[in-house]
Amino acid sequence: MKYLLSLLIILNMGFTQDANDVEEVVEDIIEAGIDSAIEDEQVKEENQEKNNLFSDEFTFREDVTIDSGEVSESNMRIVGGNLIIYGTVNGVATLLGGDAYLKGGGILNGQIITIGGNVYREPNSTVNGKIIENNLKEGLIYRETDKEDAIQGTTEFGLDRKSDRSRQSWIHPKRPTIQYNRNEGFVLTPFNERWDRHSKSNFRLNWSAGVRWRKGFAPDYIGRTTFEKSFFENQNLILYASLFKEARTDDAYRIPQDENGWASFLARQDFYDRWDEQGWETGIGLNIFKNIRIKGRFISAEQDTLPIWNMYSVFEKKRSLRPNLTMVPMSSNYNELTFMARTPNYSPLQTGLAIYLQSEHIQSDGDTASVFKMDYGKATQRNLALLVFNWEFSEGLVFRSRLMIGSGDDSMPSHRLFSVGGIGSVAAQGYKVQQGNQMAQVNLALFLTPRFTDGDWLISFFADGGRAWEGKKWDSGWISDNPKLGISSAGIGIGHGDYDDDHDWMINIAKPLDHDGPYETTIRFNYSF
């Protein structure tokens, strides 16, 4: 068409202009045609390059987003970045070291392949294609999800939420609204407030206030007020100061506080030993890489015994309550350094590692040094190390392990001694059957999760062992030389669970291994550790 138009122009000019003019025009048109042909060829090449790019895209360390209404026909290769899908993906997306997010309204007609990442799917998203996960974050596992699996929900696309514990403030822990135990009675904490202009201010005021009622005692008011100052753009450095009056315990690792309250109310069993503290503390907190926390604090407090009261229970009304630890009222100063770390996406049913290290120096009545001028040569030292390792070595099969080591000076106060035995420690053994200033404990468990049982059933096989003793210092050789002095047990658990951090319930049956003791049956609403 272009050349036909040129010919018509030439013919028209031939009737109006002389031969020389026509000749010049012809030359110009020929040159223009050649240039046009060259340009056309260049455009074709450019379009071909664009088409090739469109059909095989490569992205390095950047996120790729498919917006709502957008249709991607590309074969995408993404290294070190994430894929967020609001629209439609018809091609093959391969991710190395990144996660894919299939948002509500997003459609997958093609294929997603992750190497070292997860695929997270929101409700109202559609999978008509296939998902292949070579997951390194959850362990060396491989899983496939097609349209049928996606509709039936037989395969989970990652965790929708993390543990509630991980969301709690580590500077000012949120107190449960209702508590019930043999020391404080009924505890109501209706106020758990945080003021920081909706996280827009680097100043924060936290305060908790409540009251506890015990039979025969007037209401006793408790609470904590904390003022925090954050630094740097990510607010990962925190200075704080607190005033408090509250109960304290070293037994929180055994059983969650809410489960202990239900055990107290229903079965007249309280698995915490507590003492009362009121005073002040100041400290510093540091967040590193989101998964590492370091906390140092100085505490000055008045400590006293919390008495036992004859609490009401729905069942086992005649069960004898354990005695609480007893102590002489004292003034105590202690400095504490805590290190906490865990791998990303850590949870009970995913591959991951969690580490907790704590070192305290304690000075009590008789030592006139202030909390800021402590004589560490004379102060009593108490150290605790806790390590939890979970390994999903095959889809739905999770090996869990916990190691605890405690060591303290022989002058450690009686209410701060280590102990083993009982729930959350060594099953089927007497509660705190062994105590001392040195301690070692190990817990092992193999979990068959709903992914493996093809239903909602959760099955575990577990073994526990430990030893607490009095000694000048912690010595692993002492344990190996005296293996019969430790306690151990093994058992099986059967329960109902789901894919997230929590399970509904589990019945555990355990038996001592070190002596011919009876079987112990417990009902748990949380994991053993």
Q: Confirm whether 180 is domain-assigned.
A: no
Please determine, for residue 53, whether its predicted confidence score (pLDDT) is greater than 50.
no
The predicted-structure confidence for 397-413, as pLDDT tens digits, reads as follows 999 999 999 999 998 99
Number of separate domains in the chain: 3
Banded pLDDT at 304 (limits 50, 70, 90)? very high
- Indicate if 76 and 31 belong to the same structural domain: no
Domain of residue 428, CATH code: 2.40.160.50
Please determine, for residue 422, whether its predicted confidence score (pLDDT) is greater than 60.
yes
The predicted-structure confidence for 153-167, as pLDDT tens digits, reads as follows 544 444 333 333 333
- Indicate if 82 and 49 belong to the same structural domain: no
Banded pLDDT at 499 (limits 50, 70, 90)? very low
- More reliable by pLDDT, 380 or 169: 380
Q: Confirm whether 163 is domain-assigned.
A: no
Each as own residue / partner, the long-range contacts of residues 214-217 (CB below 8 Å, 24 or more positions apart, any chain) are: 214/184, 214/185, 214/307, 214/309, 215/185, 215/309, 215/310, 215/311, 216/309, 217/185, 217/309
Please determine, for residue 52, whether its predicted confidence score (pLDDT) is greater than 50.
no
Q: Which domain holds residue 459?
A: 220-524
Backbone angles phi, psi at 165, to 5 degrees: -60, -35
Q: Confirm whether 437 is domain-assigned.
A: yes
pLDDT, position 267? 94
- Indicate if 493 and 462 belong to the same structural domain: yes
Q: What is the DSSP string of 179-198?
A: EEETTTEEEEEEEEEEESTT
The pTM of this model reads: 0.69
Strands (E), 118-236: 119-121, 126-127, 130-135, 141-146, 178-181, 185-195, 203-213, 220-231
- More reliable by pLDDT, 479 or 417: 417
Please determine, for residue 141, whether its predicted confidence score (pLDDT) is greater than 90.
no
Q: Which two tokens stand for residue 223?
A: 């609470």
The predicted-structure confidence for 256-277, as pLDDT tens digits, reads as follows 999 999 999 999 999 999 999 9
Q: Confirm whether 409 is domain-assigned.
A: yes
- Indicate if 366 and 487 belong to the same structural domain: yes
Q: Which two tokens stand for residue 176?
A: 């449960």
Please determine, for residue 13, whether its predicted confidence score (pLDDT) is greater than 50.
no
- Indicate if 396 and 498 belong to the same structural domain: yes
Identify the DSSP state of 426.
S
Distance CA 484, CA 196 (A): 55
Distance CA 291, CA 353 (A): 11
- Indicate if 9 and 92 belong to the same structural domain: no
- Indicate if 421 and 339 belong to the same structural domain: yes
Banded pLDDT at 139 (limits 50, 70, 90)? low
Distance CA 184, CA 163 (A): 27
Banded pLDDT at 439 (limits 50, 70, 90)? very high
- Indicate if 233 and 353 belong to the same structural domain: yes
